[in-house]
Amino acid sequence: MEVVIRPADELAVLAADVIEARLREHPESVLGLATGSSPLKVYQELIRRHRESGLSFARARGFTLDEYVGLPTDHPERYRNVIAEEFVDHLDWPAEQVRGPDGLAEDLIAACASYEREIKDAGGVDIQLLGIGSDGHIAFNEPGSSLASRTRIKSLTQQTRRDNARFFDGDIDQVPVHCLTQGLGTISEARHLVLLAAGEEKAEAVHQLVEGPVSARWPATVMQFHPHVTVLVDEAAASRLELADYYRQTYASKPDWQGL
């Protein structure tokens, strides 16, 4: 696990570099997309590169992490709409090549199984972007999630509903109670996990993710088992890391030939 502590703008450039390098070499890559505020600057940077230097997504495929259950098709917070609005619609990426779990399916269990199959049939995810919840969730895998879990229905914690109420006119009652989410086992199969976190409210979750004992209490700790993880954090999100100086030194002395 590599921890990089830099200002948020620089982190977005680093994450965009990882994705651009992959796409230039393998235009048919499979990208794992996260919603939430954490990856927004990365998306903006990639849109800029698409416009200014021709970075193409035309042959790539994309899979989002999660979706609320029951939000109507035209709801602006439906994650399919969010990812289209903030990212995909600004690129040369055909909409049908970007998939998400179907939170409006009549049979939600079947929808989860079919989403797992789609990811597998695409050859798995090459680069998975991730944010982290203040309670340590990744995607919507709340505390108590099995570390081996697959795409399934979950209930959101009150803390996550409170955190996300800012996207629903500040009204927690508008935040759905249920969601569909890739499981921790599903996410762990992506070949490179790139997690972004900024702000003091993420500091404890980041500390647990990097330095805590692996436990379903802090679901992101499952990433400690993964062979290729990049954790991109600003100073505030890094403020509870016990070995922050070591991570800084390691990054400062990183050999030029070694990418993230």
Ligand X SMILES: N[C@@H]1[C@@H](O)[C@H](O)[C@@H](COP(=O)(O)O)O[C@@H]1O
Residues near ligand X (CB under 6 A): 34-38, 65-66, 131-133, 139-140, 160, 164
CA 204 to chain centre: 18
Q: Catalytic residue among 45, 67, 126, 137, which?
A: 137
Distance, in Å, from the CA atom of 28 to the CA atom of 38, rounded to the nearest integer, reads 25
In angstroms, give the least distance from the CB of 181 to ligand X: 7
In angstroms, give the least distance from the CB of 222 to ligand X: 14
Nearer to ligand X, 149 or 160 (CB): 160
8-25 and 40-53 helices cross at what angle (nearest 10)?
A: 50
What would the two tokens of residue 194 be? Answer: 């790139």
Confirm if 133 and 88 have CB atoms less than 8 A apart: no
Catalytic site residue 173?
no
What would the two tokens of residue 251 be? Answer: 């990054």
What would the two tokens of residue 79 be? Answer: 């994650």
In angstroms, give the least distance from the CB of 65 to ligand X: 5
Nearer to ligand X, 161 or 217 (CB): 161
Confirm if 15 and 232 have CB atoms less than 8 A apart: yes
Residue nearest to ligand X (CB): 131
Nearest to 182 by CA among 19, 63, 43: 63
Nearer to ligand X, 29 or 38 (CB): 38
Catalytic site residue 142?
yes
Catalytic site residue 126?
no
In angstroms, give the least distance from the CB of 130 to ligand X: 6
Q: Where are the beta strands (DSSP E) in 45-133?
A: 61-64, 66-68, 98-99, 127-130
Nearer to ligand X, 35 or 221 (CB): 35
Q: Catalytic residue among 102, 116, 126, 135, which?
A: 135
For 43, other C-beta atoms within 10 Å of its C-beta total 22
Catalytic residues: 66, 135, 137, 142
